[in-house]
Structure 1
Amino acid sequence: MAKVSAVEKNKRRRNLVSRDASKRAALKAIIKNQELPIEERFKATLKLADMPRNGSKTRIRNRCEVSGRPRGYYRKLKMSRIALRELGNFGKVPGVVKSSW
């Protein structure tokens, strides 16, 4: 099990990203627009830099929904390989069966 503080920090980051997504996208559109004057684009760059860093989508760490483990993460199932194996062995994940050969 991951540290509770690390899981909670990641949840706060997800909330910040969802809250600030539209504002960040608008500022980035202004910055990339070559037809606008350089002063206006520079002001948008400064506003984007003033926003909290944890509001950026790249700061989010994919973590297992079951255990909070940050590595060995399957995006489609939103869980780590270890949690997938445990739940798969107990028949809790639909479509996953234990194999033997």
Structure 2
Amino acid sequence: MARKSWIQREKKRQKLEQKYHLIRRSSKKEIKKVQSVSDNQEIHGKLQSPPRNSAPTRLRRRCLSTGKARANYRDFGLSGHTLREMVYACLLPGATRSSW
């Protein structure tokens, strides 16, 4: 189980990313349109003005049940350990247990 502070920090980053998403997207579109260097630098300054934690690259995918940050499957949103437990308990439709 992940520490609660890490999970709360990640939730805060998600809120910030949603808040500044439109600002980042519009400034990136402006950068593509502008041809002069001085205007380009000005727009880059705008792009750097939002908080650092609002960048989408700083987000980390976490398990929905445990909050674990590693070994996550995108399709299910679960960590490998939790996914295996749920498959063995027949809680995930369409997933089969491995046997060899």
1:28 is displaced (CA, Å) by 1.4
Match of 1:74 in 2: 73
Show CA shifts across 1:52-99 (max 9, x none).
111111000011111111111101111110010111111111112334
1:34 is displaced (CA, Å) by 4.0
- Does residue 59 (structure 1) correspond to residue 42 (structure 2)? The answer is no
Question: For 1:64, what is the secondary structure of its paired residue?
Answer: coil
- Does residue 88 (structure 1) correspond to residue 87 (structure 2)? The answer is yes
Q: Which runs of 5+ in 1 are unaligned?
A: none
- Does residue 8 (structure 1) correspond to residue 8 (structure 2)? The answer is yes
Seq. identity, %:
33
Q: Which runs of 5+ in 2 are unaligned?
A: none
Equivalent residues in 2 for 1:14-53 (5 A)? 14-35=14-35, 37-53=36-52
Q: CA RMSD in A?
A: 1.4
The structure 1 segments of at least 4 consecutive aligned residues displaced by more than 4 Å after TM superposition are none
TM-score (normalised: structure 2): 0.89
